[in-house]
Amino acid sequence: MAGRNLLTKKQLKLIDALANGQPLSGILKRENIALATFRRWFFSEAFDQELRFRRELIQQQSALLLERKACSAAKKLVKLMDNEEKPDVARRACLDVLNLTNSSKSTADASAVKSSGPATVTMDKRMAAAMLELLAEQAQKK
């Protein structure tokens, strides 16, 4: 990144600390940076570019981590859906799967808008039937 070369080591250290979730007040105090200096840096183009780059990188890393864990979470929820001894657990698992499916669909739709490609979300028929059955039972109880 071209703007990165325009930043000082202190500015990069500040961006690293912000990207790692440290509170601004603590960083400024520890690094002996005046608030007015931070404000000036914050509104500079190079600082802004680097901070935006770091945010995007963190978001991408988080999304990849969630994608890797989504499959095992879905498998655990599916197992919970078959819990006949605790129907409430099964019902909540079904709702969680539905929420994940809707969330996944929203994410896929957003990606499709970016890439202009079609977005699809598939669900196993057995899973869909079990969810519908449990939701119907829940609706009858109300």
Please report where in the chains the tokens 């899973």 appear, as a residue: 127
Do 46 and 99 sit in the same domain of this protein?
no
Give the whole-angstrom CA distance, residue 16 versus residue 10.
Answer: 10
List Cβ neighbours of 108 (8 Å cut-off, separation of 6 or more).
119, 120, 121
Asked if the model's pLDDT at residue 76 lies above 70, the reply is yes
Do 112 and 61 sit in the same domain of this protein?
no
Do 58 and 87 sit in the same domain of this protein?
no
Helix (H) or strand (E) holding 62: helix 45-81
Asked if the model's pLDDT at residue 105 lies above 70, the reply is no
pLDDT digits (tens, 9 = 90+) for 9-38: 999 999 999 988 899 999 999 999 999 999
List Cβ neighbours of 93 (8 Å cut-off, separation of 6 or more).
77, 78, 80, 81, 83
| pTM given for the model | 0.51
What residues make up the domain containing 49?
A: 1-70
